[in-house]
Structure 1
């Protein structure tokens, strides 16, 4: 007799769904299980999700993390669509993982039957209960909205799916003295060069590691950053001091494909190795803050603002789509605050 069983959610309750061809004997036997119920909507019997019932129907823990056959098919459709639109590998990975998590949660429900209430229940009963971050929740919502708006026509109205309220977190910024100490910590010119270029040009880690020798225009004193976040090219000024360092570095290492290469000629320098370079520099400076590579980019933007650079230029240099993203640096700049006298001084 053929039957199948899998963990399901029924009205936010953990159950085990059991599907089999109509058989009087099996119906009689499943009715003997306490709290066994028939679901006309799901067209299956379902029973409490207990250890005893899992053993009875040979359900393994791994089944909680598996897509249904329909879910697998539609996840592949989504990945193919993202690829055809030339989304970056990181975005494809993030969005497909977000959709996969949602489809696993509703693996016992036909995708055509999913509604906005299911998205709401998923947020409340899975994301919030597991205390996952608002940014992670936002990534999953982005994936769901994109999939059901562009790839799949269902009962879900993507435009009516709300995003979580964003936390207003200020960027972490180092003082100029701290930056100087970090950049001078390494005697190795390659390590010094990588950290210095991130700060002096406000680069993202991925942008630095994709740079090629021809992206450095020494005659115009600019760095060309190709196909950065959002598939955009941009240019940023090249400091004369950095150019001098680059010439020394180039003579020593003679990079072939990428400006900064790994142990194998022509290979990318790894993100993990670059993070390690920064970590050792911070340790040498005895800085106790949890400094990351992105802190150097934040510090670059804040120091530009404090030196009087117009916010619109900073937006262009950083490659931000919206000026609202760049405006966050006005909240961490201390230039104006330093002129404010505390009433405590008058006591």
Structure 2
């Protein structure tokens, strides 16, 4: 009997479901057809990101293959509680991880935040791997220097790590640690990349698949995050009112966004052609669609449209906000439409547009213009030499 085993896997600082089997080309191709599944060259197994629906998705995908699927290593309750056992950790450290996980969940942090903070503490315990009774600021500083900084983690990741340590210290009350001395690097000010409106239209025209075109059109026309799009259910779409209901998005906030009139024909054509059952965007057999699939076909559409900028689904959201601002929509309205908690987050788009600043004439143009008006035909005036 052919057997395929599913098991808990901690990989890339995240919780995964490992998929192991004796090599079989047909099964390999069948697995590769599942959006979101990846191959780990270090672990030498396929793995699938854990989520509330992950086990159900795998069950459906492997059903009818003729293989026996062994779920014995997986306890769904253990997954939900994130109580994976780490064989290289001491029992004391394992208990600390589980208590920290419970503490974060008690504060009702999102699954993403719990996963991120948990992974930082796991890295630290593997790095420190010594009794924590005498833990002090220098131990944490050494971790930041030798792990976070040396491996060139981003500034935002570094700041998240500091936040994780603050919760860790507050929970266990280490007397040798002064929270005020755990410094947080200054936040980077990175301006978002945006597409021009012409580039957006070219991108949609170059997207041949109807489902893919609908996905890109709704992200841009309504300013959605990729996660918000993938969670949308059919009853969230109100065509008559031209509204989309976004339920419990980032920051646990509900909001309404509008739908463009020109998007309605694309949407109706898509609904009639694909006939989704529950979610607006579904994979095979009604399975949830993956963000990696969206990024893949977006990259291909950009190639066809001749767009050389680095474009992600979030680039379309940035473009939506920037174009709204350029057409005179107020910052307060854009903040509500995007679901930003703070106006400062929305104000970054004022630095992207800067229409008045971009209209200022360069002194090089002024100098050349004045010389041309003076009638002096100097050879070096033609800077291109043509």
TM over 0.5: yes
Question: Does residue 191 of the first structure (1) align with residue 212 of the second (2)?
Answer: yes
Separation in structure 2 between the aligned mates of residue 252 and residue 159 of structure 1, nearest angstrom = 58
Picking from 345, 348, 371, the partner of 1:325 is 345
Question: Does residue 121 of the first structure (1) align with residue 157 of the second (2)?
Answer: no
Separation in structure 2 between the aligned mates of residue 109 and residue 134 of structure 1, nearest angstrom = 29
Question: Any conservation in 2 of the 1:68–1:104 contact (CA below 8 Å)?
Answer: no
Question: Does residue 201 of the first structure (1) align with residue 222 of the second (2)?
Answer: yes
Separation in structure 1 between the aligned mates of residue 103 and residue 283 of structure 2, nearest angstrom = 33
**Cα deviations across residues 12-49 of structure 1 (Å, max 9, x unaligned)?**
xxxxxxxxxxxxxxxxxxxxxxxxxxxxxxxxxxxxxx
2:277 maps to what in 1?
256
Q: Secondary structure at the match of 2:247?
A: strand
Question: Does residue 238 of the first structure (1) align with residue 259 of the second (2)?
Answer: yes
**Cα deviations across residues 198-257 of structure 1 (Å, max 9, x unaligned)?**
011111111100001111112322111111111111111111111222122111112111
Separation in structure 1 between the aligned mates of residue 291 and residue 301 of structure 2, nearest angstrom = 16
Structure of higher CA gyration radius: 1
Question: Does residue 173 of the first structure (1) align with residue 174 of the second (2)?
Answer: no
Q: Secondary structure at the match of 2:257?
A: strand
Q: Secondary structure at the match of 1:257?
A: coil
Q: Secondary structure at the match of 2:309?
A: coil
Cα RMSD after superposing both structures: 1.9
Picking from 304, 308, 332, the partner of 1:284 is 304
What does residue range 45-56 of structure 1 map to in structure 2 within 5 Å?
A: none
Separation in structure 2 between the aligned mates of residue 323 and residue 161 of structure 1, nearest angstrom = 28
What does residue range 151-166 of structure 1 map to in structure 2 within 5 Å?
A: 151-155=171-175, 156-166=177-187
Question: Any conservation in 2 of the 1:205–1:271 contact (CA below 8 Å)?
Answer: yes
Separation in structure 2 between the aligned mates of residue 227 and residue 283 of structure 1, nearest angstrom = 34
**Cα deviations across residues 284-327 of structure 1 (Å, max 9, x unaligned)?**
11212221111111111111111111111111111111111111
Q: Secondary structure at the match of 2:256?
A: strand
Separation in structure 2 between the aligned mates of residue 287 and residue 146 of structure 1, nearest angstrom = 43
Separation in structure 1 between the aligned mates of residue 354 and residue 236 of structure 2, nearest angstrom = 34
Separation in structure 1 between the aligned mates of residue 331 and residue 231 of structure 2, nearest angstrom = 26
Picking from 271, 281, 286, the partner of 2:291 is 271
Give the drift of 1:131: 3.0
Question: Any conservation in 2 of the 1:145–1:158 contact (CA below 8 Å)?
Answer: yes
Question: Any conservation in 2 of the 1:67–1:100 contact (CA below 8 Å)?
Answer: no
TM-score (norm 2): 0.69
What does residue range 103-114 of structure 1 map to in structure 2 within 5 Å?
A: 103-110=125-132, 112-114=133-135
Separation in structure 1 between the aligned mates of residue 261 and residue 107 of structure 2, nearest angstrom = 39
Give the drift of 1:345: 2.2
Separation in structure 2 between the aligned mates of residue 315 and residue 248 of structure 1, nearest angstrom = 31
Question: Does residue 293 of the first structure (1) align with residue 313 of the second (2)?
Answer: yes
Question: Does residue 95 of the first structure (1) align with residue 122 of the second (2)?
Answer: no
1:66 maps to what in 2?
88
Q: Secondary structure at the match of 1:256?
A: coil
- The count of aligned residue pairs is 281
Task: Show structure 2 runs of 5+ residues with no match.
Answer: 1-85, 368-386
Q: Secondary structure at the match of 2:344?
A: helix
Separation in structure 1 between the aligned mates of residue 103 and residue 215 of structure 2, nearest angstrom = 36
The range that moved more, 184-193 or 81-90, is 81-90
Separation in structure 2 between the aligned mates of residue 159 and residue 203 of structure 1, nearest angstrom = 37
Separation in structure 1 between the aligned mates of residue 113 and residue 156 of structure 2, nearest angstrom = 14
1:42 maps to what in 2?
none
Q: Which runs of 4+ in 1 moved over 6 A?
A: none
**Cα deviations across residues 165-203 of structure 1 (Å, max 9, x unaligned)?**
222111111111111111221222111000000011111
Task: Show structure 1 runs of 5+ residues with no match.
Answer: 1-63
Q: Secondary structure at the match of 2:246?
A: strand
Give the drift of 1:135: 2.0
